[in-house]
Structure 1
């Protein structure tokens, strides 16, 4: 009886061994097939809903495999626009800000170089296509990474970086420019300073949210507002509002009726090198994203369809035309191989009725921190930092150039 039991156990063990060997052989064959396939087609994830497709992988004479990258890091297919160059701004500027009121474009501050920042406002007149008036800014006002919004007469300037390089901390003070009297005023300072916060006037209140915190790198999700009228604050303190779902600087912020949109942006930014007396910029990891959030009248955030590609440095790079938000240029995710910044060369459209994105044009070159406006059927942009050429999307020269193109939507 015992002898029979052992024999049957051995038989079961032998069967299990045979099955195991068969599964192992099948797995090894499948793995070999997968490796062979990956030599010709590979998906490298970079962010949710975005991939880089490697179209080719082959051996060079040196035996090192090469890859051709496309998708997120390539220019998107877009119609050609006929661009006309207009008079350049009096100075080149990077990370400046701009507001369009009537037939005038007010262009604020910005870097001339990393070691030099502007402390004035240049004014462009669309009627005669000339740069003329220059306004000096208050000495205490930030020179870059500003939050800015306007009600059609008064321009509200919030927080930002004071000084060159990567100076910390940001300043919490706020200013108001009356564009009719050319006089400056103040609002109560922010509860905490921020770099490049999303800023907009919505439902009678000045809203400030996100941006980078005091170390210039950590994203903030705080959201504050204050009631304003005729260039004055109607309250003594900022009200704490519902936080934005994702923090960070360099985003477009647009009001449309009972909706407030916050578009694109990034998490992280350059920081000052430890111990540097001039706050020399030191590179840090940044994550650029395509997220779009909408705040409704019930003060609830909703995530909408993302931009066609991740995009940042677009605070003043937008304009509303015929029920659409138009966004010009920017920066996308860093190149996955050389880790260098990649500039954006497309014009994007976001339809406010359908809440859908499209790509409607190409720029004369890739460029970030453009200052954008629209006048008599033409889309204008000026300033920013352009690419190194058609085949190199890395940033190089800081510009003061102005361009325009007809745009029919």
Structure 2
């Protein structure tokens, strides 16, 4: 049989394509096996979206690669002096801080209540995998830490709402367990004289870090994060209480707060209820993680201040000097002013790391004006603050990496104080 010239050309073309493909595969194999490919910056710089270093609640600084120059850090702790002041330390006078005895354990996202010269310090993370379930007491008169006693086993370990009437401490909802575990709707009250605990009616639904205060005979619980730990909540409930007991069986719905979210200060002064700062969003449990491993999500930190008045309507007040969150127990009333120490502000736009706050803010309730009255020994969030006999104290929290790096690092047990004199 005689093949036609057209068929012979087609056959040769197919054979040629197969040979070229074979050469290509061999060349690709040799390239992939070479040292140049193995050290490619694409592989060494690629990080999965759920990388554990970026998903833990206590961030760890990632090492710089040899082929990547670290961003230049300026003396003011930011990467570029042209950035908004939100990411930089605000100008502030120096305060003389005195180091006191450390707390018995380090704490992050703990809670604190001051009654006269005693600071009751509750719960909190020791590490991301360890939470505390006890109360420590600091005596401001003696400047010593005293006895420890246990919390109820069913009580939350972090992100608590808490307030006192001067004897009884009301403890509301919060996160139960380490990492990013779920919240509980259980509520309790502590009699500080007898150290006895009682139950309170549970919230309609659990919350993380809601704003909590006693106002006009009622226990008010507002906002926080919803059950997934990230979605901001706007709900506002109240419960009539007296002498450590609930006078009602159920919580009453109230006017929702203007903006939801956790980690804000909530203060009652001169019969006014104020909510200050806070954020929308928070870490969430990684889907499918058996230990509820914390996974980073976007947060929006804000500077807003709102007041609930006699008309039961929320009214905006002058905003903070910079957005500030993680301040639910970082405040004290001093000479008709609200003093707030530390916190977190918006993440750095270049590094995307959390930026801690190192300033002490004052809100003058006579003039309704904010000012920056001093610097902390270092930037720190979730401080537990008290004021006694002219001294401003703070303990616990998570501090920065150093003067030139405002990202969070070490959970601390430090206790500091400074003499605070406020002009009217």
Instruction: Render the CA deviation track for 1:129-183: whole Å, top value 9, x for unaligned.
Output: 1111101000000000000000000000000000000002x10010000001110
Match of 1:110 among 114, 124, 145: 124
Q: Counterpart of 2:283?
A: 270
Is the CA contact (8 Å cut-off) linking 1:331 and 1:343 kept in structure 2? yes
- Alpha-carbon distance between aligned partners in 1 of 2:299 and 2:80, rounded to the nearest angstrom: 24
The SS at the match of 2:374 is strand
Match of 2:162 among 148, 168, 180: 148
Tell me if 1:247 matches 2:226.
no
Q: Counterpart of 1:341?
A: 354
Q: Counterpart of 1:307?
A: 320
Q: Counterpart of 2:401?
A: 388
Match of 2:300 among 272, 276, 287: 287
Richer in strand (by share): 1
Q: Counterpart of 2:373?
A: 360
Tell me if 1:193 matches 2:209.
no
- Alpha-carbon distance between aligned partners in 1 of 2:219 and 2:312, rounded to the nearest angstrom: 14
Question: TM-score under structure 2 normalisation?
Answer: 0.80
Q: Counterpart of 1:139?
A: 153
> How far did residue 257 of structure 1 move?
2.4
- Alpha-carbon distance between aligned partners in 2 of 1:186 and 1:357, rounded to the nearest angstrom: 39
Q: Counterpart of 1:75?
A: 89
The SS at the match of 1:155 is strand
Number of residue pairs matched? 346
Is the CA contact (8 Å cut-off) linking 1:258 and 1:297 kept in structure 2? no
Is the CA contact (8 Å cut-off) linking 1:327 and 1:347 kept in structure 2? yes
Q: Counterpart of 1:3?
A: none
- Alpha-carbon distance between aligned partners in 2 of 1:124 and 1:204, rounded to the nearest angstrom: 28
Q: Counterpart of 1:90?
A: 104
Q: Counterpart of 1:179?
A: 192
The SS at the match of 1:201 is strand
Instruction: Render the CA deviation track for 1:69-102: whole Å, top value 9, x for unaligned.
Output: 3511100000110000000000000000000112
Question: TM-score under structure 1 normalisation?
Answer: 0.83
Tell me if 1:166 matches 2:180.
yes
Q: How large is the Cα RMSD of the aligned pairs?
A: 1.3
Tell me if 1:402 matches 2:406.
no
The SS at the match of 1:72 is helix
Instruction: Render the CA deviation track for 1:365-408: whole Å, top value 9, x for unaligned.
Output: 00000000001100000000000000000000000100000000
Match of 2:215 among 202, 221, 236: 202
- Alpha-carbon distance between aligned partners in 1 of 2:143 and 2:152, rounded to the nearest angstrom: 27
Unaligned 5+ segments in structure 2 are 1-68, 73-78
Q: Counterpart of 1:228?
A: 241
- Alpha-carbon distance between aligned partners in 2 of 1:191 and 1:352, rounded to the nearest angstrom: 34
- Alpha-carbon distance between aligned partners in 1 of 2:310 and 2:163, rounded to the nearest angstrom: 19
- Alpha-carbon distance between aligned partners in 2 of 1:389 and 1:192, rounded to the nearest angstrom: 40
- Alpha-carbon distance between aligned partners in 1 of 2:310 and 2:331, rounded to the nearest angstrom: 23
The SS at the match of 1:400 is coil
Unaligned 5+ segments in structure 1 are 1-61
Instruction: Render the CA deviation track for 1:3-31: whole Å, top value 9, x for unaligned.
Output: xxxxxxxxxxxxxxxxxxxxxxxxxxxxx
- Alpha-carbon distance between aligned partners in 1 of 2:117 and 2:360, rounded to the nearest angstrom: 23
Instruction: Render the CA deviation track for 1:211-235: whole Å, top value 9, x for unaligned.
Output: 0000000000000001110000111
Tell me if 1:219 matches 2:232.
yes
